Copies of this chain bind each other. A is one copy, B any other.
């Protein structure tokens, strides 16, 4: 569909490409902790850029703590023991797992309105094209750091059963089941996308940051769509986890998710 960037586009910041390449090599394991990097001059030559440009990339790597630089000695990959992701979610059960204790997540309501369903929502939920729905946009934070941007579409007749205030304080799941909806099954789809201006601001990241994108359609026992969720997650704050077990024998051998039994689902 696209291929290389069309010719009219600027090449893109060279320093950023050097930065991304080195960062990938470090986080991807090609450069392990303690490894020495080639000298700045050599890096400049191998990337085909000037030393100043390499320097900017290294500055950025040092700023994020990935490398240590010592004048006269050289640049080495720093040993980063911890620095892991605070929030994870079990993709099978939709159960969030807060890896450290003391994490509390809070939701903030950014937008709340009623209107007609966008075409792609109506199609996914199998509603009439002009169906009335409620649209809510929320941002969820852990320890005052936002990690997810949630846009939910709920048919108006269901949404009338809870208030704007409920939405800011309870998972949508709770509200739906409290409203008498009998949730039966869901289908979710995971991809990646770039942060646009509004989302970037809400999640406190730069425009152009990679985000995890999850779309979920929830249906009731009659197969009617009761919720369409479009969620965007910061990859440095959030991960989807999924344990699997291989079961069966012979030709019937296949994978099955190892599921947790407890808890309450949330977005």
Please report A residues at the B interface, Cβ cutoff 8 Å.
1-13, 15-17, 19-21, 23-25, 27-30, 32-33, 46-48, 56-57, 59-60, 63-64, 83, 88, 91-95, 118-121, 151, 183-199, 204-213, 230, 233-246, 252, 254-263, 265
Contact = CB atoms under 8 A, between A and B. Distances in A.
Q: Which 3 A-B pairs have the closest CB atoms?
A: A29-B118, A192-B192, A5-B206
B191 A28 contact: yes
Contact of A245 (B27, B30, B184, B244): B184
Contact of A91 (B120, B193, B230, B242): B242
B256 A92 contact: yes
B210 A193 contact: yes
Nearest to A242: B188
Given A47-B197, A64-B2, A119-B33, A192 B206 contact: no
A189 B9 contact: no
A216 B7 CA distance: 35
10 contacts: A3-B237, A9-B60, A21-B208, A24-B196, A28-B151, A92-B242, A186-B243, A186-B245, A189-B240, A192-B192
